[in-house]
Amino acid sequence: MKSRAPHHSGFFSLNVTQFCGAANDNILKQVVVFGVAAGGIWADQLGHGAQAIGSLCLAGPFVLFSGFAGQFSDRYSKRDVTVWVKVWEVGVALLAMLGLWMVNLWVVLGSLILIATQAAFFGPAKYGILPEILDRKLLSRANGTINMFTYVAVILGCAIGGPLYDAYAPDRTKFPDAVSNVWLPGAVLLIVAIIGTAASFGIPRLTAQNPSLPIRMQLFRPYLNTWREISGTPLAHVMMAWSYFYFIVGGVAMLILPDYKSLLQISATQASILMAILGIAIGVGDFVAGRVSGHAVRPGLIPIGAIGTTVMYFVLGVIPLNFGLVAVCLAVTGFLAGFYMVPLQTMTQTLSTEEQRGRVLGLWSCLSFVSIILGNVLFLIIKQTGVESHRVFLVCGILGVICVAWYYLQWRAIFEAAATSHPLVSAADAESEVTVAVI
């Protein structure tokens, strides 16, 4: 069956829109994380290990509102939903600017929650748009590309957050004459939000996929209803594999990175460089995995990513605390993570129907952030025992071993069968193309 007429020009606009949104979320989060961490401007207000609070403020709205957002994504045009939430982001940036100028932690945390909420509504729309504006056979490459820009944006946001925090609250012990630029982080947030909003208008107009879907004012029931629809199917297993990955990486491993500031005795800017290296590496890994996949879904890439990242977690947990060595290991870890992510993301899109895709992606987003929250909790529990932060990577390695074992015991056969039965290119379209979906 032929795919609908593609709107490839909208893919560029979507990438810019997504890039700006991901960057802004993480610029604000990182300023908060450095502000509440040991030695930060708000360190005495939330206590030990408070960097997890910033992560929880960003993750919580995704859990609460992703199912509701998925309904909107199916009920209305995904392009319209995207434009609405980007305009919303401009308003949130103005509020964050005010809170930062006042040096008021609670207004800033409120802004972080609001920007995460708009991002939760954007999530199902942005990934649901891809099958509507692109040929089906391009989905693996498109996911690799958009993931590359997303993770570059995420860690670029974190990387910019370090210097912005240093400018916002300079270390008076090292720079006694430094001037606090309380306006700067808010101004950057506002400029990025305006650019992202302008880019969203370049996405082509799209029709709603399920215009008769009733919008139910419920927070958690939509997740249960969607899970019942997919329970027992390969799509449910894809969701579980994705969520477990986010539990390890997003929930535990990412919280270790800010602590390299004290572990390596470096500045917030230098610690942000490590985050940038990891994010760029993930983006490059996603892009390469998308290109390797070509016009197919290739679940055979998943164990490469799972085994590779697991090995690197153990390495990061035992290597000497040297900036260059840590940077190289984070780069390898991030690159290999992309091979795990792209096949699962593409299967999430292809195994869901057009009428349910928004709700499925809403559940997918919710499960991702539930996993992050659970990982944050695990990180906090481990930290209370007095374990050095970089040794927490050993826990990530143990969790990775479980993931690899479960892949070979359960997921491998399911994913290979699903990819073969749902090729990105049909026989009629492929002609001479090879469409075998496993390697």
Distances (CA, A) of 226 to 132, 144, 229, 230: 21, 26, 5, 7
- Written as one string, the DSSP assignment of 166-220 is HHHS--TTT-TTPPP-TTHHHHHHHHHHHHHHHHHTTSPP---S-TT------SS
Nearest Cα residue to 98 out of 186, 32, 198, 176: 186
| 384-437 pLDDT per residue, tens | 888 888 899 999 999 999 999 999 999 999 999 888 877 664 444 434 343 333
Q: What pLDDT score was predicted for residue 209?
A: 81
Q: Which domains does the chain have, with CATH numbers?
A: 10-205+219-430 (1.20.1250.20)
CB atoms within 10 A of CB 386: 6
User: pLDDT at position 307, please?
Assistant: 96
Three-state DSSP state, 229 = helix
The CA distance from 339 to 240, in Å, is 17
Rounded distance between C-alpha atoms, residue 392 and residue 369, angstroms? 20
Q: Which of 239, 302, 291, 309 minimizes the C-alpha distance to 438? A: 302
* CB-based contact 277:383 (threshold 8 Å): no
To the nearest 10°, report the CA torsion of 38, 42, 44, 50.
Answer: -60
Within 10 A of 87 (CB to CB), how many other CB atoms are there?
13
User: Which conformational region is residue 268 in: left (phi greater than 0), alpha (psi within -120 to 50 degrees), or beta?
Assistant: alpha
What pLDDT is attached to residue 38? 61
d(CA 229, CA 130): 22
pLDDT at position 430 is 39
Separation between Cα atoms, residue 212 and residue 41, nearest integer Å: 50
Q: Are 103 and 147 in contact (CB under 8 A)?
A: no
d(CA 6, CA 134): 5
Give the separation between CA 273 and CA 281, rounded to whole angstroms. 12
pLDDT tens digit string along 69-100?
Answer: 778 888 888 899 999 999 999 999 999 999 99
Token representation of residue 253: 């491993």
Distances (CA, A) of 294 to 140, 148, 398: 7, 16, 32
CA neighbor of 424 nearest in space, from 8, 142, 227: 142
Please tell me the distance from the alpha carbon of residue 348 to that of residue 67, in angstroms, as a whole number: 16
CA distances from 141 to 137, 145, 361, 367, 430 (A): 9, 6, 19, 24, 16
Please give the model's pTM, rounded to 2 decimal places.
0.70
Whole-angstrom Cα distance, residue 292 to residue 264?
37
Task: Name the stretches of the chain with pLDDT < 70.
Answer: 1-9, 37-39, 47-52, 54-55, 172-176, 178, 218, 268, 423-439
